[in-house]
Amino acid sequence: MSHNLTDRRIKAVLFDLGETLLEFGRVDVWRMFQEAANSSYAYLQEQGQPVRGLGGYKWASFLLIRLKLLVSDWTGRDWDSLALLRRIGERGGYDLTEEQLRELNWRWYEPLGRRAKAEPDLAETLARLRDAGLRLGIVSNTWVNGDALERHLEQLGVLGFFEVRIYSCSYRFRKPDRRLFRKATEELGVLPGHVMFVGDRLDTDVRGALNAGMVPVLKLAYTNARKRAPAGVERIEKLSELPRLIERFNAAASTS
């Protein structure tokens, strides 16, 4: 690992997930919940599990999710959807294998995932970054267990580009806590000053990356519309702009 303090070249790129790698946009939350509840309920019935009526199942699920979100906001910690489903199954008398639990977790996520859009040349962009010698990873605030997220990324054909994948639901802290960013750099074996972090939120992505000593890049999205980024923070509209941006950054770092 290089410790040359004058060397500021980018050697790794970390990405946020929602509205960065995947664009979910503004969604009808209630409609999406209804679809997910219907799908997960149907799956439990298919597996012969002792589920209550659909109406009761929906309201119990809705109230539980609301409660978990409130607690998450209060504690500053994300919860793990798969772990929660496992506990619900134990209390409800479900007899599900680990594979079936993961499928149930997917059924809850899939309606949201279906709405997501990725840039049509995302795989090409990631390949250009990787082929330039850059190491790639993900650092995301999420309560969706990574199994569902990675299944989605695998379907898009891009999962293999990310050698490090950090999800806040697996830790006791979340962005902008610098520990989540530093966990990724430790696993990559790259000093924070050599890492570019690309995200869409000023409060968690840009702020957290700066506090962790990384180089932040703001991807324009509805989440940061009409908001002013700190001075010196680069902004991009598309991830496809990254290869050229990093080339310029590294060229400037080399000459300086």
Tens of pLDDT, residue by residue over 78-108, are 999 999 999 999 999 999 999 999 999 999 9
Do the domain assignments include residue 3? no
Phi, psi of 167 (to 5 degrees): -120, 130
Do the domain assignments include residue 61? yes
Q: Which of 209, 196, 189 is nearest to 249 (CA)?
A: 196
Tell me what the pLDDT averaged over the chain comes to.
95
Side chain identity, residue 19: E
- Any idea what DSSP says for residue 22? B
Using the predicted structure, report yes or no on whether residue 3 has a pLDDT greater than 50.
no
Do the domain assignments include residue 179? yes
Decide if 196 contacts 246 (C-beta within 8 A): yes
Same-domain pairing of 138 and 189 = yes
pTM as predicted = 0.94
- Per-residue pLDDT of 62-78, as tens digits, reads 999 999 999 999 999 99
Per-residue pLDDT at 4: 47
Decide if 153 contacts 118 (C-beta within 8 A): no
Side chain identity, residue 74: W
Do the domain assignments include residue 6? no
Q: Place 256 in a pLDDT band, splitting at 50, 70 and 90.
A: low
- Any idea what DSSP says for residue 2? -
Give the structural domain span for 226: 12-24+118-255
Do the domain assignments include residue 145? yes
Do the domain assignments include residue 65? yes
Per-residue pLDDT at 6: 58
Beta strands in 135-185 (DSSP E): 135-140, 164-167
What does the pLDDT average to over 199-212? 97
